[in-house]
Amino acid sequence: MCVFGKSIADNDIKHKQINQSVNFDQLFFSYANEPIKHIELLPESGGSYRKYYRITGETKQCLGVENSDQKENLAFVDYTRQFEKLGLNVPKVLAENLEKNQYLIEDLGDETLFSYLSEHRADKNFDEHLIEIYKSVIKQLLVFQVKAGKNFDYTHAYPKVEFDKQSMLWDLNYFKYHFLKLAKIPFDEHGLEKDFETFSNFLLTAPSEYFLFRDFQSRNIMLHNEKLYFIDYQGGRKGALQYDLASLLHQAKADIPYPIREQLLDFYIAELRNYQEIDEVSFQKQYYGFVFIRILQTLGAYGFRGLYEKKEHFLKSIPFAIDNLEYLLKKFEFLSETPVLNGIITELINTENLRHHEKLSSSNLTININSFSFKKGSYPEDLSGNGGGFVFDCRGLPNPGRFEAYKTLNGKDEAVIKYLEQHTEVADFINNCYRTVIGSIQNYISRDFEHLQINFGCTGGQHRSVYCAERLSENISKNFDVQIVTKHREQK
């Protein structure tokens, strides 16, 4: 059971259980000069097989990374040190033991640009504030691409030094075998191979002496102490400027409105002129080509991790990627020179079950969200028998029950809602609760678990706990395809 997101279970027991499979004791002590007090395996996210652990000592905290791919580890550590010398915002490497496939990095928290974007857009459109954040990202991206890329040492690049023709064909075939075949989309294989050859030759017309992140998107941008930090660049190599910009602006689930994508593209071109001359017409033609290959590459990943491995996040991303392809048909004129590929894209756009994630995905997870009174008994009983879950204490929030006007009302009544919404600490509390449970929800869905219980308690179980339970239920339902059962124990 968790209270305020922290496990009630003994930390030492949890530490010992994790250490049966991984041991960071020596490495952490070499960095912190103190033993580990608590170690927690973080939920899997994205398409990586790396494992991340949050490690806490008496005074210091960091993330431990375990990855069996030694070359990838070496690339990350080497790239990080090069970026640090240039003063770029990347997580510090605190200690390493690459022979054991482990290293420690600075803990930048849990808030990514994607999570911030999702939270900020819950009640608002893609407003000027978000546009300014993306402009800041673009400015820093250009520093990585042009300034860092100018004299970058690719000795430890993994798996290749350049995003060359072979790399492009790998991505295109990844799309063919992991998406088209798994989605059972028919195609002329010989004709498609010819089109891949034509398309990759077109992409090679773009200059490619810049640093290319390879997976530059909002999930790999952290917000920490009001600064932007960049992660997951170990696959970086030489490449064209347009690829990373395409990855950022056309990330499927970020779902940036198309006019704003065009606005940010114009902003990027204007900023690029601070570094070099640019043929804007050629740049834009090549840009939409890189948008296209990026979408196909991500569809390959969504096919493998979603259609094959049945992971919810990837399944839910497919409709957004298909929407991007439909938009791109109007922008990427070169597609007419690849008739087989053009026909496949048209087929994907017209395949109805790819446009609606409900038909692609279903989760067995039921989330029970309860409100209760601490004065009237213990936590609500977990009827599933699963145990665990979360308990959040709302008694530190402003209490409308102290005022006569609200005594006969509850947290679902409009007057109480308006009262609580006047206090920013209430919204902060709910947002923190959401951040705490989201990792478990993602993990439970990926592991096909069937039950999670979340409880909110206050003094009388009437106002604050009811309101918080209702708000969290709304937030979860907006972002996850799960069944939610909300109950208020003290309410008739």
Q: Which of 317, 345, 360 lies at the terminal end of a domain, its last residue?
A: 360
Q: Rounded distance, CA 97 to CA 99, Å?
A: 5
Domain that holds residue 480: 366-488
Q: Is residue 246 part of a domain?
A: yes
Q: State whether 401 and 302 are in the same domain.
A: no
Q: State whether 187 and 206 are in the same domain.
A: yes
pLDDT in tens, 378-421: 888 877 777 789 999 999 999 999 999 999 999 999 999 999 98
Q: How many CA atoms lie within 13 A of 93 on its CB side?
A: 21
If we measure between CA atoms, which residue out of 19, 28, 12, 111 comes closest to residue 62? 28
Cα Rg of the chain, angstroms: 25
| Residue % of the chain over a pLDDT of 90 | 69
pLDDT in tens, 270-325: 999 999 999 999 999 999 999 999 999 999 999 998 888 777 778 888 988 998 99
Q: State whether 120 and 96 are in the same domain.
A: no
User: Which token pair is 365?
Assistant: 């997870």
Q: State whether 321 and 268 are in the same domain.
A: yes
Q: State whether 423 and 379 are in the same domain.
A: yes
Task: Report the pLDDT value the prediction gives residue 416, as an integer from 0 to 100.
Answer: 94
Q: State whether 139 and 15 are in the same domain.
A: no
* Ranges assigned E (strand) in 217-260: 221-224, 227-230, 237-239
Number of domains in the chain: 3
Q: Is residue 385 part of a domain?
A: yes
User: Which token pair is 410?
Assistant: 């509850």
One-letter identity of residue 247: S
pLDDT in tens, 145-165: 999 999 999 999 999 999 999
Q: Is residue 420 part of a domain?
A: yes
User: Which token pair is 272?
Assistant: 């690029």
Q: Is residue 110 part of a domain?
A: no
Q: Is residue 249 part of a domain?
A: yes
Task: Report the pLDDT value the prediction gives residue 2, as an integer from 0 to 100.
Answer: 36
Q: Is residue 167 part of a domain?
A: yes
What is the value of pTM for the model shown?
Answer: 0.69
List the alpha helices (DSSP H) in 121-234. 128-142, 149-150, 165-175, 189-203
If we measure between CA atoms, which residue out of 231, 255, 264, 9 comes closest to residue 120? 255
Q: State whether 127 and 152 are in the same domain.
A: yes
One-letter identity of residue 63: L
427: left (phi over 0), alpha (psi -120 to 50) or beta: alpha
Pairing, β 451-458 against β 366-373:
parallel
